[in-house]
Amino acid sequence: MSEHRYELVVGLEVHVQLLTQTKLFCGCRNQFGAPPNTLTCPVCLGLPGTLPVMNQQAFQLALKAAVALNCEIAPVTKWDRKNYFYPDLPKGYQISQYDLPFSRNGYLEISDPRGRFGPKRVGIIRVHLEEDAGKSLHDETAGQADSRIDLNRAGTPLLEIVTRPDIRSPEEAKAFLTELKLLLTYLEVSDCNMQEGSLRVDANVNLHIHTPEGTVATPIVEVKNMNSFRAVERALAYEAQRQYHQWLSTGHRLGQVPKQTRGWDDQAQITRPQRQKEESSDYRYFPDPDLVPVTVSPEQIEQVRQSLGELPATIRERIQKQYGITPYDADVIVSQGRAVVEYFEKVAQVSGNGKQAANWVQRDVLRTLKERQWTMEQFPLSAEQLGQFVARIAQGRLASSRAREVFDHMLRTQQDVDTAIEALGIQTVDEDTLQELCRRLVEANPKVVQQVRQGKTKALGALVGQAKRENPNVDPRRVQEICRQLIEQAEA
C-alpha cells in the first residue's frame, strides 16, 4: 500500500476553573480538596425554589481572559440551560451559554523558541462562562456497585475556550496550551493546575489526506481524558496514525460515520472508543429564566484592557531587546511568571549585563528555587545583591571559576558580594603576578611544554592545577590562556 502525505487538523476545547472566592451562582467557597460535600448549599445542590445569582468577580475574570485572547465582547450576553442527566449534575441541567456567548472571534499567538514551527495565530471561536459539575468517583473495588458523588465542585465557575481547527501538529497543540496557561496565570484568572483539574483539554481531530484524486478528510474524532500536556501530544500523535490506518482499511470519510468520542489511555498509550456523542440539539438548550442578561459597554471593555498589565508575549519581546538576550532565554524567564521577570530585570539593570544576568537567574537561581521548592519571593538574595555579584563577574573582578563558590556562600549567609569574597579569602590576582606565575610554570615543566607543542593541549591542565595550588585565587581560564601564549611565543 502506498504512503500518503497527510495533515493533522486539530481544534481544542479547553476548560479552566476561575480563581474566585466563591462559586458562580452561590456563596459557597470555590476550593479544591475540601472534605467531600462540605461546600454545598441549596443553590448548588439544585434544590427547588432556589435562585442563582451571578458572581461579579467570575464575570470580570472571564472578561479579562477574553480581552487578553483578542476576542470581540458581546454587548449583550445570556445564559442557557443545557439539559442532560448525570448524577454529578444535581439540577438535571448545566447553566452554560449557547447562542450568545459573551465573547467570540479571538486568537492566541504561538511560537517555538526552538524554531520547530513558525509563529502563528490560533483562532479562538468563542469563550464562554458556565458552571462546573460535581465529581463522580467510581469504585473500582469488587463488590462496590455504587458510584460516590461529591458536589463541592458543582456550580464552580468554568471558562470554556474553543479554538478553530488551526492546530497542525502535536507540538503546536502543546505550545498553544503552554501559552494559554501562561497567559491565564499571568492574568490571575486561573491557576491552570491540571492535576487538580483546573485546566482540562479535549481535542477534535481529523486528517486531511492528500491522494492523487484530491484531498480527503477523515471523520472527526473527539479525544478526551488527556491529563497532561504530554498526554495531549502523545494522544494526537497516536490518533493521527490510527486515523490514517483506519482510512486505509475502511475508506471512511468525514460525514459518512457519526462523530466518535475516544478516550486516551495513558497506560496503554492508545485511544479507545467512548460513548457516541449526542447531537447538540439533544441538550434542548433554552434561556435560563432564573438569570437575567448581562450587558457590557465599550468603556468597560477598555477598563478591562487597561487592567491587563504587560502580557507574556510582550514581555518576551521587550526583554530580548532591552537586555540583549536570546529568544530562548527570554522564554525561560517569562515562563516562570511575573516575579521572576521582575527579579531578572533588576539583576540585569544593577549588573549592567543582561546576558550574564540571564545566565545566573536561569541556571543558579531557578535551580535553587526548584531544589528547595521556594517561590521567587522566598529566595534569600535580593535582586540588588545578585546584580552586584553579576556585575563583578561581568567586569572581570571575580573569576568565573570561583563565582559559584561565592554564590553559594552568599546564599547561605545572605552577605553582599564584597563581604562574601572577603570571607572566602578570594583576592583578585593582578596581571603581573599572573604572568610571572605562568612563566615560572612553563619553565619548570618542559615535559608539558613538549606535549602541548605536539598538539596535546589538554596537557595545559597540569599547569592550571599547579597554578591553583600555588594561588587559589587565579582564574584558571586566564592561566590556561597565558601559558598557551607563552609556549606558542617560545616556539616562534
Q: What residues make contact with another protein under the rule CB under 8 A?
A: 20-22, 26-29, 35-42, 45, 47, 53-59, 76, 78, 83, 85-87, 100, 136-139, 145-151, 274-275, 282, 284, 287, 289, 291-295
DSSP for residue 200: E
Rounded to a whole number of angstroms, the minimum distance from the CB of residue 263 to another protein is: 8
Whose Cβ is closer to another protein: residue 150's or residue 172's?
150
Terminal Cα distance for the chain, rounded: 68
Whose Cβ is closer to another protein: residue 250's or residue 295's?
295
Cell triple for residue 292?
437575567
Distance separating alpha carbons of residues 489 and 339, to the nearest angstrom = 51
250: left (phi over 0), alpha (psi -120 to 50) or beta: alpha
- Note every long-range contact of 109-115, with CB atoms under 8 Å and residues 24 or more positions apart, other chains counting: 109/179, 109/313, 110/172, 110/175, 110/176, 110/179, 111/175, 112/171, 112/175, 113/327, 113/328, 113/330, 113/331, 114/328
Rounded to a whole number of angstroms, the minimum distance from the CB of residue 13 to another protein is: 20
Whose Cβ is closer to another protein: residue 139's or residue 384's?
139
Contact 440, 474 (CB under 8 A): no
Whose Cβ is closer to another protein: residue 167's or residue 294's?
294
DSSP for residue 336: T
Whose Cβ is closer to another protein: residue 47's or residue 444's?
47
Whose Cβ is closer to another protein: residue 154's or residue 348's?
154
Rounded to a whole number of angstroms, the minimum distance from the CB of residue 152 to another protein is: 9
Rounded to a whole number of angstroms, the minimum distance from the CB of residue 298 to another protein is: 15
Cell triple for residue 381?
538574595
Angle between helix 400-413 and 383-394 (nearest 10): 160
Whose Cβ is closer to another protein: residue 38's or residue 326's?
38
Beta strand pairing call for 260-265 and 221-226: parallel
Whose Cβ is closer to another protein: residue 292's or residue 423's?
292
- Residues in contact with 141: Cβ distance below 8 Å, sequence separation at least 6, in sequence order: none
Distance separating alpha carbons of residues 42 and 407, to the nearest angstrom = 57
Residue with cell 479535549: 202
Distance separating alpha carbons of residues 297 and 306, to the nearest angstrom = 14
Rounded to a whole number of angstroms, the minimum distance from the CB of residue 83 to another protein is: 7
Q: Tell me the CA distances in angstroms from 73 to 198, 252, 291, 300, one per residue in order.
A: 24, 39, 19, 10
Sheet holding 286-287, edge to edge: 93-96, 80-83, 286-287
Whose Cβ is closer to another protein: residue 19's or residue 207's?
19
Cell triple for residue 52?
442563582
Residue with cell 478516550: 263
Whose Cβ is closer to another protein: residue 244's or residue 283's?
283
Whose Cβ is closer to another protein: residue 29's or residue 453's?
29
Whose Cβ is closer to another protein: residue 261's or residue 388's?
261
**In 449-468, which positions are buried (b, 16+ CB within 10 angstroms) versus exposed (e)?**
bebbeeeeeebbebbbebbe
Rounded to a whole number of angstroms, the minimum distance from the CB of residue 272 to another protein is: 10
Rounded to a whole number of angstroms, the minimum distance from the CB of residue 38 to another protein is: 5
Cell triple for residue 110?
504561538
Rounded to a whole number of angstroms, the minimum distance from the CB of residue 74 to another protein is: 11
Rounded to a whole number of angstroms, the minimum distance from the CB of residue 248 to another protein is: 27
**Degrees (nearest 5) of the Cα angle 149, 150, 155?**
115
Rounded to a whole number of angstroms, the minimum distance from the CB of residue 43 to another protein is: 10
Rounded to a whole number of angstroms, the minimum distance from the CB of residue 95 to another protein is: 14
Q: Tell me the CA distances in angstroms from 163 to 121, 142, 173, 238, 439, one per residue in order.
A: 11, 41, 11, 21, 68
Angle between helix 431-444 and 476-491 (nearest 10): 60
Rounded to a whole number of angstroms, the minimum distance from the CB of residue 125 to another protein is: 21
Contact 61, 20 (CB under 8 A): yes
